[in-house]
Structure 1
Amino acid sequence: MSKLDVGNYPSKPVTLGTAKTDDEAALVEARRIAEAMPLPTEIDPALNFTNRFNQSRTFVDVSQYPLSRDLLMTREEFNILAPGFISGYYSEGRTDINANLSWTLNNYTLLFTDSEAAKKAVPTLGAKHQEALGANYEGTQLAKFPEAHAVWTPRSDAMYVWHSVEQFLVLTVVRDNLSDQIGSDDLRGIQAKAEKVISALQPGLSKFTHTPRDKWWTLDRDIDGILAMTVPATNDSVTNSATIPAAYRKHGALQVSLNISEDQKLFDETGVDVAAFNGGELYRTKSPEAAQLLEKRRLERGRLFIVAPSPPGLPSAKCHENREKFRGANPRYYCTVTFGKYVAQISANQLADAHQRISAQYSLLANSKS
């Protein structure tokens, strides 16, 4: 293992411990929101796909993408209009891997200091948001939730709804992209979808227990040490500002699955109970055999991928190259490796970086005490 080239990436895990700053504690609270929210498929079985952007999806700053894309106001404006924001979690679902052929759902779930602060922010932010959206958006109302602030646009069949659930302020965005593509407007259909989403969100969020401010120092930043064992998204020469490291239990990990129903079956079969997202993905299964099965399924990449060389000194790592002509933001190289009950996957645009990442990931696992 000493011969592995890990570049500038760490090879030994460092225990993260409990939260030392307000932001660290707030991000732990955001991670807990993922566990309280229903999966997109629990809202509607058709919402089976997601865009795996920023797998951790936690935030303490409303200027962070993709929230900034839909919020349309500065951090300073938001803080003035809605005091009491702590942190939030972003979830997404779509009915087709191709967003243009689906209706899509985005929920930005923001935790506030108390329910009154969240409730008061609904009309205030709703009015500011509608102003920012411009003349193409029309005010409307949801019959089941008249207290919500909703606007929609006939031009693109999209609806934005501000609503609150206890200490949470939620911006729900529903887009019927297929109707938009064929030039069909369906206000009643969009309203029904939005009402279905809000109804599904309320049970889990209503049961969420916010950690009191004087107990934030007790919040563990990790789950069973798995986040400490992940290769980081950044080093001296590689940066990835979109990634905020986070560890989740099974339900939270499924929130970012590209195919939720398939992963749910696979996680059940292999006993995945904890996962972490940082500079790659790391899953804990029930046994070494289960880890190998999970890796095997993850290696079923399709005909656009060809086998790439394994890193020097680590033949057990399996790498593939994406030969798709127009990859867009998709990385070129993917590598996986197993160690005991753990399965790790990383991606990179350069083969040398992919090799260093997966070598460092293997070293982190091998040098851990788990």
Structure 2
Amino acid sequence: MKRLRWQRGFRGLRAVLGHRAVPALTAAVAVVIASASVVASWSVPGHPVPGMTPTDLSKLRVGPYPSAPTEFTPFYSTVHDAYAVESRRMLTFLAGPDTIDPDVRFLGGAQVLSSSSGSFDDADGPFPKNWQPIAERNRLIAGAYTWRNNDSVRARKHITLAILRFPTEQTARAAADGFNDTLDAPGRHRIPIDTSDLAADSRESVRASSRADDRGELVAAHGVYVIVGHAVIPQNDPAALGGRLREMLRAQLTAMAELKPTPLEDIPDLPTNPDGILGLTLPNQYDSADSDPPGMGRGGIYTPAGALHYERDAVTARAAFEAAGVDLVARNGATVYRTRDLAAAFGLQTALTRLGRDDDEVPNPAGITDAHCIRLDEPEPIRRAEYLCAVVYGRYVAVIGAQARFSGGAPASFEQRVSAQYSMLARSG
């Protein structure tokens, strides 16, 4: 890019000075280049890394939003709010669809689960409404859900996975049986799955079924947990469908090998704000684009594995998380990622705001150089954000989203919220 600018500048200068001046100019340039070569040959210790650009925080337009770290207090209005902490922990042990099939990388949805109507809704919920009384009767405690697809219409692939926690193995088994009973209907048939290598208790509870052989469901009890899966494959092939459902079951059992249920009395003691990271994260009570689906609670922390379920492209984000050394993520009005160091933070910012085929760059908020803002061609699936902006400060990256106005433009609050989030990080000390 710098070479391109130099060539353009040289042509412009040539046009101004005329052709006769070119030999003299060329000679002068040769001297400059020779001198630069000598300077470039000097040994400089260390490695070049990106640096932060100074920002005058007093000139940022933050509107009504906080511009300094806040005191975060977990919000508990119902028992579901407390159980959401356990659900967020369970996301760490939920298998990523892209680890089963790298093509199935694009976000469709992700959320924590409870027995509330937000988890059971025929129109918008992850599970059908007739599953809700089964979950309530068997005292569903917590759960985690994700689904992704391959972004193809002609050869569609789709993987949904969820794990739901119940009080006992007996209630988990009863819930699994109840869910399966609701799936039984005329025209529906079983899909055989090879379970010979599973433990006896898991093998006995596995049931897979389908109405059309290009899609099917899986329900299996495993200890106090119920595994639920849904798959779509590109062809009508019961053997291929059974193979895909088996892959999903094996991946989920492997992912949850280390998952142990937190005793109910210990859930309030689970960490909710390690190192005060949620105090550095924009609160979510200000804007509709700040809100996750019902039941998610107000603000939460995630391991990198848990946070990956919310990323638009799981394959890209997984590699970026690893390269940047992400070790903690906070999700509230914005999403804040803690990386290894400043250079890693800039690398993560680049990955999270890489332009898709029909995406566009949009201007940074006034006064913030270390930002990258884009407009998505398709809104982000969970919060329906069409505008995203990622800022870097120290080892932190923060991503702020906004829904488009009716006219298609970004709301005025978008720049204010980005500026406020940057200021919160910058004033954290």
**TM-score relative to the length of structure 2:** 0.73
* Alpha-carbon distance between aligned partners in 2 of 1:77 and 1:118, rounded to the nearest angstrom: 14
SS in 2 for 1:101: coil
Q: Deviations over 1:76-120 (max 9, x none)?
A: 52345x4121011002243x2336533211112111112221112
SS in 1 for 2:268: helix
Show structure 2 runs of 5+ residues with no match: 1-56, 196-202, 405-409
Name 1:211's counterpart in structure 2.
262
8 A contact 1:229–1:365 mirrored in 2: yes
Name 2:62's counterpart in structure 1.
6
The AA in structure 1 aligned to 2:67 is S
Name 2:208's counterpart in structure 1.
150
The AA in structure 1 aligned to 2:69 is P
Query: Which one is further off, 10-19 or 220-229?
Result: 10-19
Q: Is 2:423 the counterpart of 1:363?
A: yes
Name 1:73's counterpart in structure 2.
129
2:223 alignment partner, one of 166, 179, 188: 166
Q: Is 2:391 the counterpart of 1:337?
A: yes
Question: How big is the shift at 1:239?
Answer: 6.4
Q: Deviations over 1:28-73 (max 9, x none)?
A: 111111112333233x24354031535xx21224532587545322
Name 1:182's counterpart in structure 2.
none
Q: Tell me: CA distance 1:48–1:129, structure 2 relative to 1, closer, same or farther (3 Å).
A: closer
Q: Tell me: CA distance 1:141–1:263, structure 2 relative to 1, closer, same or farther (3 Å).
A: same
Q: How does 1:1-370 map to 2 (within 5 A)?
A: 1-16=57-72, 22-42=79-99, 44-51=100-107, 53-54=109-110, 57-64=111-118, 69=125, 71-74=127-130, 77-80=133-136, 82-94=137-149, 96-98=150-152, 101-130=155-184, 134-144=185-195, 145-154=203-212, 157-176=214-233, 178-179=234-235, 185-235=236-286, 240=291, 242=293, 244=296, 245-302=299-356, 304-322=358-376, 324=377, 331-348=385-402, 349=404, 350-368=410-428
8 A contact 1:48–1:261 mirrored in 2: no
Q: Tell me: CA distance 1:139–1:321, structure 2 relative to 1, closer, same or farther (3 Å).
A: closer
Q: Tell me: CA distance 1:26–1:146, structure 2 relative to 1, closer, same or farther (3 Å).
A: same
Question: How big is the shift at 1:303?
Answer: 5.4
* Alpha-carbon distance between aligned partners in 2 of 1:100 and 1:109, rounded to the nearest angstrom: 30
Q: Deviations over 1:319-357 (max 9, x none)?
A: 2334x4x76966442212111101112221224222122
Q: Deviations over 1:131-173 (max 9, x none)?
A: xxx534334443424532332012x622112111111112211
The AA in structure 1 aligned to 2:209 is V
Q: Tell me: CA distance 1:159–1:303, structure 2 relative to 1, closer, same or farther (3 Å).
A: closer
Q: Tell me: CA distance 1:106–1:99, structure 2 relative to 1, closer, same or farther (3 Å).
A: farther
- The answer to which structure has the higher strand fraction is 1
Show structure 1 runs of 5+ residues with no match: 180-184
Q: Tell me: CA distance 1:256–1:98, structure 2 relative to 1, closer, same or farther (3 Å).
A: farther
SS in 1 for 2:174: helix
Larger radius of gyration: 2
Q: Tell me: CA distance 1:300–1:228, structure 2 relative to 1, closer, same or farther (3 Å).
A: same
SS in 2 for 1:354: helix
Question: How big is the shift at 1:267?
Answer: 2.0
Q: Tell me: CA distance 1:4–1:60, structure 2 relative to 1, closer, same or farther (3 Å).
A: farther
Determine what percentage of the aligned residue pairs are the same residue.
Answer: 24
**TM-score relative to the length of structure 1:** 0.83
Q: Tell me: CA distance 1:294–1:50, structure 2 relative to 1, closer, same or farther (3 Å).
A: same
Q: Deviations over 1:307-327 (max 9, x none)?
A: 3232234343332334x4x76
Q: Tell me: CA distance 1:157–1:248, structure 2 relative to 1, closer, same or farther (3 Å).
A: same
8 A contact 1:47–1:104 mirrored in 2: no
* Alpha-carbon distance between aligned partners in 2 of 1:237 and 1:265, rounded to the nearest angstrom: 30
Q: Tell me: CA distance 1:267–1:221, structure 2 relative to 1, closer, same or farther (3 Å).
A: same
